[in-house]
Amino acid sequence: MKIRMDYFTDVLCVWAYSGQIRLDELKRTFADELEINYRFVPVFGAGVQHVQQVWKDKGGVAGFNAHLQKVAKDWQHISLATDLWINVSPESSTSAHIYLKAIQLLAEQGKIDNQPVADFDNRSCFEQIIWLFRHGFFAQGKDIARRQVQDEIATQLDLPLAAIHELIDSGRACAALHMDDKASQKYQVPGSPTLVLNEGRQLLYGNVGYRIMDANIRELLRDPDQGDASWC
């Protein structure tokens, strides 16, 4: 059997960036049993304003940057640019999410090859472009809210820019992102990252350890009907 997991993130969320290693491990462990549906939630929908408001009494943008550097200093699997949110301040993650939804639509339509690729750590094209957006911001200090930067990243994977732009300009990518928002409201998603399992009965939010994710999935595989209360 195959179980479905909705994975809600904001592309500018450092916890989703650092947590990619856990998601990759889940895919390796449950390769034939887990289907991941990638959705976006706008924690940084007003990026600069969000940081300024949340951190106004804690050092502002500079304080947030210091926080990011501190929490990431022991993460060997990722790197952070030194000037995040100081010299690199994306106005909104929404434009990046719309761009990514356009690519997701192309994948669903079979217009791009979305099979796992060994050179991408066995990620699909869509999974890899999400990673490249995050890596572009966090490691390379690129403003991924800008169309020019988005196009530059998409070009790395030889993605069809004209087709992506058409889905954005027509409003179809925006509509797909709206459906993510509707789903986040339905499941009462608290933020990024959030894993939603069992039709919303199991939500794992934040910097959740891998073993907890693994246990929840194994429990669902053990009892796919979930007629009784889960022990997880």
Q: What is the pLDDT of residue 99?
A: 98
SS in 3 state form for the chain?
CCEEEEEEECCCCHHHHHCHHHHHHHHHHCCCCEEEEEEECCCCCCHHHHHHHHCCCCCHHHHHHHHHHHHHCCCCCCCCCCCECCCECCCCCHHHHHHHHHHHHHHHCCCCCCCCEHHHCCECHHHHHHHHHHHHHHCCCCCCCCHHHHHHHHHHCCCCHHHHHHHHHCCHHHHHHHHHHHHHHHHCCCCCCEEEEHHHCEEEECCCCHHHHHHHHHHHHHCCCCCCCCCC
Residue ranges of domains in the chain, CATH in brackets: 3-222 (3.40.30.10)
CB atoms within 10 A of CB 226: 15
Q: Distance (Å, rounded) from C-alpha 65 to C-alpha 62?
A: 5
Are 72 and 14 in contact, with CB atoms under 8 Å apart?
yes
Q: Which residue has the tokens 């007003």?
A: 46
Q: What is the pLDDT of residue 227?
A: 45
Structure-token pair, residue 149: 């930067």
Q: What is the pLDDT of residue 225?
A: 63
Structure-token pair, residue 125: 């094209």
Closest CA to 79 of 167, 143, 20: 20
Cβ contacts of residue 218 below 8 Å, gap of 6+? none
Q: What is the pLDDT of residue 74?
A: 83
Are 36 and 7 in contact, with CB atoms under 8 Å apart?
yes
Q: Which residues, given as ranges, of the chain have pLDDT below 50? A: 227, 232
